[in-house]
Amino acid sequence: MIIPVKDLMAMEDFYGKSQEELSRKLNAVEHLVRSYTNNNFQNRHVRFKGSSEGDVINGYAKYMKVGDTVQISQSMVNDGLYLITEVADHFIRINADLFPVSNNLVTKVEYPADVQEGVIELMKWEIKNRKKVGIKAETLSRHSVSYFDQDADNQVMGYPVSLLGFLKPYMKARF
């Protein structure tokens, strides 16, 4: 995960939100960031190939620890993002059951600090403003509220363009 859910839950903006809800939204934002930038944020220096059995991948790479995100590729059926829940001498355990495959390419995923902070801001916006999308003006007695239009010119993938500016340095060309 881009940010551990427990770190979000410790922030004042996320009090009262369930761990499952935050985890689901965080996964969605992580996939949005990866898709929008066409960048998988892999550290290709920390990878190994191994077979899978249940939630265990046989093999090990230095510099992987519990809580790290790994991406499985070239497996044909297990491709995706997973969290490491246990590290041993000859295997790692992840947070999901995998199909038994003899060849999984496991690569560590690392997000820069500014991407993590940007995702926190996206999550705050998601919690506070998602329900208000579409409101142009609102007046109650002498109190007035106006929101900007969310059209193709000032929003990307459901978020204001101004919130996604932190991703510009990480965008990769699409071919």
What are the mean pLDDT values of the chain's consecutive 10-residue runs (175 residues total)?
90 90 91 93 96 94 92 95 94 95 96 95 86 64 68 68 88 88
**φ/ψ bin of 16: left (φ > 0), alpha (ψ from -120 to 50), beta (otherwise):** left
Same domain membership, residue 131 and residue 97: no
Q: Which two tokens stand for residue 55?
A: 């939630």
Closest among 113, 59, 116 to 91, alpha carbons compared? 59
Which among 70, 87, 109 is the end of a domain? 109
What CATH number does the domain containing 50 carry? 2.40.30
Same domain membership, residue 54 and residue 101: yes
Q: Is residue 35 part of a domain?
A: yes
Give the total number of structural domains in the chain. 2
Full-prediction pTM beyond 0.85? no
Closest among 118, 108, 109, 107 to 169, alpha carbons compared? 118
Which pLDDT belongs to residue 69? 94
- Outline where 68-172 has alpha helix (H): 113-129
Which pLDDT belongs to residue 52? 96
Which among 76, 109, 142 is the end of a domain? 109
Q: Are strands 80-87 and 69-73 parallel, antiparallel or unpaired?
A: antiparallel
Range of the domain at 35: 5-39+111-169
The dihedral sign for the CA sequence 121, 115, 72, 82: negative
User: Who's near 123: CB < 8 A, 6+ residues apart?
Assistant: 3, 8, 14, 22, 25, 26, 29
Largest CA distance in the chain: 68
Same domain membership, residue 105 and residue 47: yes
The dihedral sign for the CA sequence 162, 132, 151, 145: negative
Same domain membership, residue 101 and residue 49: yes
Which among 71, 90, 109 is the end of a domain? 109
Which pLDDT belongs to residue 60? 85
The dihedral sign for the CA sequence 13, 15, 16, 20: positive
